[in-house]
Amino acid sequence: MLLIHCPYCEEDRSELEFRWAGEAHIARPENIAAISDEEFAEYFFLRNNEKGLTYERWRHIHGCGRFFNAARDTVSDRFLMTYKAGLPKQALPETGASEKTVETYEATEGDAR
């Protein structure tokens, strides 16, 4: 069974408690009413869907209920790192990148539920 580290509960929990919530770090346009339909479609619908390292949003739906971000390798399905929502994209640690890490980072004022 795959274990996922929740940065809020600070525990490794069963994957059955979590729900994938899409690509992380999607920036909403500042003036969404002023962008073209094509720009809106690109922002709203198009995702990178890259093979390998990807940054995703996950939700601990059957736990604390909070959203957080995860760096995951889509080839091996390994979670490389999880961190709290609202934090910028985190660089992977130098060592242990091939192993599951449970590092978390302290929230900043931008930390949202």
* Of positions 35, 57, 63, 78, contacts Zn ion by CB under 5 A: 63
**Would you count residue 72 as binding Zn ion (CB under 5 A)?**
no
**Would you count residue 9 as binding Zn ion (CB under 5 A)?**
yes
| Lookup: tokens for 52 | 């390998």
**Would you count residue 6 as binding Zn ion (CB under 5 A)?**
yes
Of 76, 81, 90, residue with least CA distance to 25:
90
Task: Find the shortest distance in angstroms from Cβ 36 to Zn ion.
Answer: 39
CA atoms within 13 A on the CB side of 100: 11
**Would you count residue 107 as binding Zn ion (CB under 5 A)?**
no
**Would you count residue 64 as binding Zn ion (CB under 5 A)?**
yes
From the DSSP assignment, how many helices (H) and strands (E) are in the chain?
A: 1, 6
| Lookup: tokens for 91 | 């660089």
**Would you count residue 86 as binding Zn ion (CB under 5 A)?**
no
Residues that bind Zn ion (CB under 5 A): 6, 8-9, 60, 63-64
